[in-house]
Amino acid sequence: MWHSLTRLREFASERHRLISLSLMRICFGTIVLTYYAQHVAQRAFLWGDNGMVPFSAFDLMMRSQHSLSLYMLSPSPFYEALIFYLGFIVTIAFTLGYRTRIFSILFYIFTWSLFERNGWLLDGGDNLLYLVAFFLMFTYCGEYFSLDAWMGHTSNHGKNKLLAMIHNYGVLAIITQLSLLYFTSAFYKIQGKMWQNGTAIYYILNVNEFRLSGFAHHFYDSGIVVTLLTWCTIVFQMAWPFLIWNRRLKPLVFLGALSLHSMIGYFMGLVWFSAVMLTSELIIFSDSEVRYGVHLFRRAVFRCRLLHLRGRGMTAAEADASAPCYAEHNKV
């Protein structure tokens, strides 16, 4: 018993999934950054007082929902522009991993404020993004690929066991949040008649706003394909919280998510939602699994290169000599 508790303490005092979290920071940051950049010209209509939602209505909604937003403090166009561009700068700093702890908190505040300013623009991905951004504040998400790491600000981070434990709870919270998302979504679906009889995808893909691709009819014209897609969606979502704990099945789960969300992005046009969902999926991989994945990828690239060189008539020895040293690539 004592031995198990000691092992649990050791495990919980060591920071986990640092690479995945760093990748999530970069991806979430890039998504929000693109969102800001894309809407610079439309800012006044989407979030301004004379735009889609006037300040008076926004203020009323915020007060009735007991919510907060930085955009609440003034209806002035100058102030709205100031918060918008500050949010832009905060997101750049967060994405680059500069003073990550502080900027992860600011990233959450500014992103939340922007999404609250006009709730009609939300597509579900924003909902997950701000929930995950909340838990990211408790984690060390700037340990890799960041200015902090480059400048040596992260060298002492692993020593505090209490903060490491809080970091791990942050990771657990993100995984739990995703599990509940998939489970709840599947739970609602299995109660619906169209999901049960396997026709739901047909109706969704035929709605005007989701009938975007000329290829979609290949899916919804065939009864078998529609039924399989409908049921596979439910099975995937229901199984996700259980399968992610199996090391061997994780890559398959990720491939499943990649297929599902790429299709949602392409066929239904919900690109931001898909990008947020796929980014969140990164949390299922531990650091050693990410390293192993990179190792496999490099080995595959190396072998392709080797085959290519041999195909050009080189002998095995010449090809081996010309191809980049695999031992060098093996360092991950």
Partner 1 sequence: MAPEDRQTLSWWAAFSACGLVLMLHFSLVQLYNMPLSPLQLRFINQLSSYVNPFFSQKWSFFAPTPIDRSYSLVARARYVDKHSDQPGTTDWFDVSDPLIDALRKNRLTPLFDMEIGVSNALISVVNALPSNPDDTYSKDGRTYIRPTIPAATSPLDMMVLRRTALAMLEVAYPGKRFQQIQLGVVVGVFPRFTERHDPGSRTQWSFFSVDWQPTEWVTPYCCQSLRARASAGTQQR
Among 16, 101, 161, 305, binds partner 1 (CB under 8 A): 161
Among 1, 159, 191, 327, binds partner 1 (CB under 8 A): 191
Question: How would you write the chain as a 3-class SS string?
Answer: CHHHHHHHHHHHCCCCCHHHHHHHHHHHHHHHHHHHHHCCCCHHHHHCCCCCCCHHHHHHHHHHCCCCCHHHCCCCHHHHHHHHHHHHHHHHHHHHCCCHHHHHHHHHHHHHHHHHHCHHHCCCHHHHHHHHHHHHCCCCCCCCCCHHHHCCCCCCHHHCHHHHHHHHHHHHHHHHHHHHHHHHHHHHHCCCHHHHCCCHHHHHHHCHHHCCCCCHHHHHCCHHHHHHHHHHHHHHHHHHHHHCCCCCCHHHHHHHHHHHHHHHHHHHCCHHHHHHHHHHHHHHCCHHHHHHHHHHHHHHHHHHHHHHHHHCCCCHHHHHHHCCCHHHHCCC
Of the two residues 91 and 237, which places its CB atom closer to partner 1 in the complex? 237
Q: Does 269 bind partner 1 (CB under 8 A)?
A: yes
Q: Does 2 bind partner 1 (CB under 8 A)?
A: no
Report, in Å, the least distance between residue 82 CB and partner 1.
18
Q: Does 4 bind partner 1 (CB under 8 A)?
A: no
Report, in Å, the least distance between residue 101 CB and partner 1.
18
Cβ-based neighbours of 186, under 8 Å, separated by 6 or more: 234, 237, 238
Q: Does 241 bind partner 1 (CB under 8 A)?
A: no
Q: Does 3 bind partner 1 (CB under 8 A)?
A: no
Of the two residues 206 and 330, which places its CB atom closer to partner 1 in the complex? 206
Among 9, 63, 218, 312, binds partner 1 (CB under 8 A): 9
Q: Does 317 bind partner 1 (CB under 8 A)?
A: no
Q: Does 232 bind partner 1 (CB under 8 A)?
A: no
Instruction: Give the range of 86-94, 141-149, 157-165, 241-249 binding partner 1 by CB under 8 A.
Output: 157-165
Q: Considering only residues 113-132, where is the footprint of partner 1 by CB under 8 A?
A: 116, 118, 120-124, 127-128, 131
Q: Does 202 bind partner 1 (CB under 8 A)?
A: yes
Report, in Å, the least distance between residue 209 CB and partner 1.
5
The CA distances from residue 164 to 12, 151, 284, in Å, are 7, 21, 18
Q: Does 38 bind partner 1 (CB under 8 A)?
A: yes
Q: Does 252 bind partner 1 (CB under 8 A)?
A: no
Among 27, 53, 81, 238, binds partner 1 (CB under 8 A): 53
Alpha-carbon distance of 319 to 312, in angstroms, equals 9
Q: Does 30 bind partner 1 (CB under 8 A)?
A: no
Q: Does 215 bind partner 1 (CB under 8 A)?
A: no
Distance of CA 147 to the CA centre of its chain: 21
Alpha-carbon distance of 295 to 182, in angstroms, equals 30
Q: Does 321 bind partner 1 (CB under 8 A)?
A: no
Instruction: Give the range of 149-157, 182-190, 309-317, 324-332 binding partner 1 by CB under 8 A.
Output: 182-190
Q: Does 328 bind partner 1 (CB under 8 A)?
A: no
Q: Does 160 bind partner 1 (CB under 8 A)?
A: no
Q: Does 219 bind partner 1 (CB under 8 A)?
A: no
Instruction: Give the range of 21-29, 163-171, 241-249, 281-289 binding partner 1 by CB under 8 A.
Output: 163-171
